[in-house]
Amino acid sequence: MKIMKTYDEKTGLEIENPDLEAGYVYPGRKKIGTEERVLEGTVTERRPEGLRQLVDVWEDCQYYHEYTEDELAAMQPPEEPSGDTEARLAALEDELAAAKILLGVE
């Protein structure tokens, strides 16, 4: 089994042990060079070297994405409302009563 290399998505540098608690990896391909290939059927007596073509060489790999502060914040559970819920509820009830008076509903 061939082990895939892992590269930092920003720098392109290889990473040996990515911190999967601080980020994640995803599959990708990286261009590792080019090679010259002879086109099939182009080698002849008059042209023994054949016609050549440059072809990109790719490797399957993984890229590491380190979480941003915004991504980390989005993963946190929502904060519980503060202990003054009763006071906030009373204030909202007062505002509702005032609105009803202004609208002539009560």
- At 87, list the tokens: 């006071």
Number of domains in the chain: 1
Residue 93's nearest CA partner among 75, 106, 81 is 106
Q: 4-49 pLDDT, tens per residue?
A: 999 999 999 999 999 999 999 999 999 999 999 999 999 999 999 9
What is the distance between the alpha carbons of residues 27 and 103, in angstroms, rounded to a whole number? 60
By residue range, what is the domain housing residue 18? 5-103
State the DSSP string of 33-101: EEEEEEPTT---SS-TT--EEEEEEEEEEEEEEEPPHHHHHHHSPPPPPPSTHHHHHHHHHHHHHHHHH
Q: How far apart are the first and last CA of the chain?
A: 77
Question: Mean pLDDT for the chain?
Answer: 89
